[in-house]
Structure 1
Amino acid sequence: MTHSPTTLDERPTGFFHSRQWLFGEMLVGALISLVAAFVLSIDAVELAANPDAVLACDINSVISCGAVGVAWQSSLFGFPNSFLGLIAEPVVITIAVAGIAGVRFPRWFMTAAQTVYLLGLIFAYWLFYQSMFVIGALCPWCLTVTASTTLVFVSMLHWNILENNLYWPAKLQTWATGLVRSGAFGILTALWFVLLAAAILAKYGTAIFG
């Protein structure tokens, strides 16, 4: 059976559903992640040479890149996690630029990209949880990666829903398309970011600013 995108009468219209906007969001998110991964990689090298080094983002006991950087969770695979970002984000940037230019990727490719980025998202939130509740300190650059990874994931998901790329059952695809068309998808994404900020404030309160 051949694949066809969401039919014209079902597909939402408007700039915020366009490839320029959605792949543009992916591009911005990936660029931000790449910059953050680059800074974190530099910090990781510095900490490897001197674990007691004071980093630029060591602000207080809560906002401390150094405290997070020396924790075992920051090198889960035997090397700094940020190195993964240096590898992965250029791939996402390439996909985003090609998407903006009008390239239509095969359905299997976009499904694979969504799946791989889902694993990246899960990893990012595992690190966020570890930072919040185990390490007990927050790294601004790590938080930036978490936020930008979320942005890339939801932008890619938005596009894949529009294009019916994900091999979902018809009922699930119809429901997801309706969620996107109603604007609820964007509202839920914004709410998620608000909840993340609220969770940080609830955990650390004014100590963040101390």
Structure 2
Amino acid sequence: MSTPLAVVRRVRHSNTWIFGTMLFSACLSLLASFVLSVDAIRLAEDPDTALSCNINSVISCGTVALSWQAQLFGFPNAFLGLVAEPVVITLAVAALGGVRFPRWFMCAAQTVYTLGVIFAYWLFYQAMFHIGALCPWCLLVTVSTTLVFATLTHVNIRDGNLPLPARMRPALKSAIEADLDAVAVTIWLLALALLVLTRYGTQLFA
């Protein structure tokens, strides 16, 4: 008879849970990208537009959106999310339907999404330490892209899709099977929350 813990672990390692989590996270990121894109268009029309998430000097979407970092490639960064997240959503839905993608495709997806996560955290760093303001929708993108990255990495390590050294593969698979990836992601997100609180403290609620 399976114990409750064994059932939970079995569910967590199932494709339904993994790709369901990926789908949910990508949908959140797409929603945030859509809102940020609309706000970017509004600000382009009128830079003095008061956005609903302009709460105080720290929680201010407008301050972040008007920075040069928010348009690094000459257009609002949120437009990238409108292009990238539907691809992730399609991948997740297809996988939930039983489609098994070739190794090269999953490896390419891992590479592209890794670049996306790096970019998301670069923006987070810029907002935290250079812009001096935070955007709730941007923070949602940071968290959701982290979760998509974690689930994609989980699948690719489990299925052996990544071109890793032979000696690393058993160790990484064992770590995945022991749920160390879930522990790592939880600690990481809690550390981010603590960093924000430590950096801005009561200013967040002023």
1:14 match: secondary structure? helix
Which structure has more RCO (C-alpha within 8 Å, separation ≥ 6)?
1
Alignment of 1:164-179 (within 5 A): 164-179=160-175
Aligned equivalents of 2:79 and 2:87: distance in 1? 14
By how many angstroms is 1:198 displaced? 0.3
- State the AA in 1 paired with 2:46: N
1:40 aligned residue (36, 39, 52): 36
What letter corresponds to residue 144 of structure 2 in structure 1? S
Question: Which of 117, 121, 135 is 1:139 aligned to?
Answer: 135
TM-score (norm 1): 0.93
**How far apart in 2 are the matches of 1:100 and 1:197?**
31
Match of residue 180 from structure 1: 176
Q: How does 1:51-66 map to 2 (within 5 A)?
A: 51-66=47-62
Equivalent-residue separation in structure 2 for 1:171 and 1:25 (angstroms): 29
2:144 aligns with one of 144, 148, 152: 148
The aligned residue for residue 124 of structure 1 is 120
Cα displacement (A) at 1:167 = 1.4
Q: Which aligned segments of 4 or more residues in structure 1 are displaced greater than 2 angstroms?
A: none
How far, CA to CA, are the matches of 1:94 and 1:30 in structure 2? 10
* Equivalent-residue separation in structure 2 for 1:188 and 1:60 (angstroms): 32
Q: Deviations over 1:37-58 (max 9, x none)?
A: 0000000001101111110000
Q: Secondary structure at the match of 1:105?
A: coil
Segments of structure 2 that go 5 or more residues without pairing to the other structure are: 1-8
For 2:90, which of 79, 94, 102 is the aligned residue?
94
Alignment partner of 1:106 is 2:108: no
Structure 1 residue 29 displacement after superposition: 0.7
Structure 1 residue 24: Cα displacement? 0.7
Query: Which whole-Å deviations, capped at 9, do the CAs of 1:82-128 have from their partners, x for residues lacking one?
Result: 00000111000000000111111000100000000000000000000
Can you give the 5+ residue segments of structure 1 that lack an aligned partner in the other structure?
Answer: 1-12
Inter-partner Cα distance in structure 2 for 1:185 and 1:151: 11
Aligned match of 1:24: 20
The share of aligned pairs that are identical, in percent, is: 58
Number of residue pairs matched? 198
Kindly provide the amino acid, as one letter, of the partner of residue 12 in structure 2: F
Measured after TM superposition, the shift of residue 15 of structure 1 is: 1.3
Q: Does 1:81 align with 2:77?
A: yes
RMSD of aligned Cα (Å): 0.8
